[in-house]
Structure 1
Amino acid sequence: MSNYLASLRSLNPGRAVDLKETLLKAHSKTAATGSSTACVVSLEGDRLCYANVGDSGFMVFRGKRLVYRSSTQQNYFNRPFSLGNWAGEGKRPVSVFLGEFDVEQGDVVVAGSDGVFDNLFGSEIEEILQESDGEPWPQDLAWSIATVASMNSVSQEYDSPFAIAAESEGIEHVGGKIDDITAIVAVIELDQP
């Protein structure tokens, strides 16, 4: 992501961002061994544009109700597409999924790593949003979402999204899924004509 930010800073102000090109450029400059999923979004007018690799992603909430969720790309269950460098193999070709979604003033965008979405249903994030008083504060919402996902990840009694998905694949998994948990929340503010 630091390479992605550097690529963004090198663009001329006001120029539309080619999310896929920028993501692949950042990936090409990454020297660390290992892999990661990625999800990047930009707002162009009233369109939320995104590039996604793997099982990181985002959800859009309107009126505190889920209206959109980005899709997951995986080779097979719990093996998401990823960006990375593999020891002795170098970089592999990357499949980047591109998409757009019409957003409205006040929509809440919750972006996160798979640790968020493996441990929280959209309906649970709706509940967190509904518990917030008045206008949502992105930082407070992100902390609340990450905290609940973290608590669910270590629960042996919670019937997590990951556990349900595992069961549908014939794999036994009880409780949450301990994993990285990153949550970012933004509230859409559109330029009014």
Structure 2
Amino acid sequence: MPLRIPPSYSTSCNDTNFTYRIAAASAPKGVSPRPPKPGRDYWNYTSTHENPSPPYLRSTKQDSGEDAFFATTVGGSQSHVAFGVADGVGGWQDQGVDPSEFSQALCGLMAGSANIQEGIEENPCKPQPLLQQAYDAVMNNPRIAAGGCTASLGVMDRRGSIETANLGDSGYLVFGPGKVVHRSESQTHAFNTPYQMSKVPAKLQAQYKIFGSTYFSETPADADVSTHQLKHGDIVVFATDGVWDNLSAQDTLQIVSRIMEEGGFWFKSHNFDGAETMINDTLITQLPRTIEDKIQESYLPGQLAAAVMREAKLAGLDRRREGPFAKEVKQHYPGEGWEGGKPDDIAVVVCIAVEEAASDEKPIKAKL
């Protein structure tokens, strides 16, 4: 049995350095729930001080349908990262607009903008301004005639602080060993009507006005912004509503816990009053620093992202499984007769925070 390690650390905020291990997974709703394969359904992306990461990772329509994701280092720093998801509003199909164009462009622009940012210590990257910059670029791009999306993103710095910006019903969870540390709140006007950024052509605006209709068009200024301090080994999961409509926070925790416990990263300690889930500090610190250190299938963030994606996919296709969306339908429209999950596009980004000593880059040691 692994040695019990109390949840405290031997280093202070001033002499520690966090790096991050990231992976993404996605699936368009038309794809069958086959076993996910690396490079086809999920993508590993490392961010460490030892091996420079690729400039950034982003999805394509073929990979994720109307949803999108990105992950990148900020200004090339291996200990500052930005990542997030966006969900194209499917209703634009009725207007002959491809909903993926807005979400994919937004994520691509955020990835590129964060990666080239300079002066991250003097002028740190913030998620809401990053979202605003990408939003402005999409709105001013004549090749994107119309569309809209929700968005949820975060920026992590070398001290383990994550600032998030969440607009709409995409969102994120922060996990510690065996527990949900934080859950973002959805922004909605009404049931199944999330806050959304929109680009509405003048002609369509006139039509809305004539018929007395309304359209929702929030801006990044309407996003909920919050900050969290991560601990060594904490796991952050960002995902679109293709996940959250089908998996609750506890459902997702069970998926994450199974992988973490089977791999020995989390374990049960009975040295307290009752059982408590603890972190295996040694294994977390020794997470592979490059994808080449292990075959892609065994890269821990990739396993987590693929498992969440696959379970959400299966739940969405299960006619007998009552997920969060089905429960809401029954609450708001009891006569609707909705059964089972909600098939949808899915995008997931998973990040594991790893705390290391900044002075000599050696793994930290927990107090015994």
Q: Same fold (TM over 0.5)?
A: yes
Q: What is the Cα deviation at residue 100 of structure 1? A: 1.2
What's the counterpart of residue 145 of structure 1?
Answer: 308
Higher relative contact order structure (alpha carbons within 8 Å, sequence separation ≥ 6): 2
Stretches of structure 2 lacking an aligned partner (at least 5 in a row):
1-106, 206-215, 266-298, 359-368
For 2:356 and 2:194, how far apart are their aligned partners in 1?
A: 36
Contact 2:198 2:218 in 1 (8 A): no
Cα distance, 1:87 vs. partner? 3.3
Inter-partner Cα distance in structure 1 for 2:178 and 2:200: 41
Asked whether the equivalents of residues 152 and 176 of structure 1 are also in contact (C-alpha less than 8 Å), the reply is: yes
TM-score (norm 1): 0.91
Paired AA for residue 345 in structure 2: D
Residue 40, structure 1, aligned to residue 180, structure 2? no
CA distance in 1, matches of 2:226, 2:179: 21
Equivalent runs, 1:1-193 vs 2, <5 Å: 1-14=107-120, 15-30=123-138, 31=141, 32=144, 33-44=146-157, 45-88=159-202, 89=205, 92-94=217-219, 95-132=222-259, 133-135=263-265, 137-171=300-334, 172=336, 173-192=338-357
Mapped to 1, the partners of 2:249 and 2:228 lie a distance apart of 17
Distance in 2, Cα, partners of 1:26 & 1:164 = 35
Secondary structure in structure 2 of the residue aligned to 1:38: strand
**Amino acid across the alignment from 1:118:** D
Displacement over 6 Å in runs of 4+? none
AA aligned to 1:58 is Y
User: 1:130 and 1:19, CA in 2 relative to 1: closer, same or farther beyond 3 A?
Assistant: closer
Aligned-partner SS, 1:177: coil
Higher Rg of the two aligned structures: 2
Residue 233 of structure 2 aligns with an amino acid whose one-letter code is G
How large is the RMSD of aligned CA atoms in angstroms? 2.0
Q: Distance in 2 between matches of 1:169 and 1:102?
A: 36
What TM-score, normalized to structure 2?
Answer: 0.49
What are structure 1's unaligned runs of at least 5 residues? none
- The 1:169–1:183 alpha-carbon spacing in structure 2 relative to 1, beyond 3 Å, is same
Aligned length: 193
Q: Percent identical across equivalent pairs?
A: 25
Partner amino acid for 1:7?
S
Q: Deviations over 1:60-82 (max 9, x none)?
A: 11003212111110111111111
What is the CA distance between 1:93 and its match in structure 2? 4.1
Q: Does the CA-based 8 Å contact 1:52-1:96 persist in structure 2? A: yes
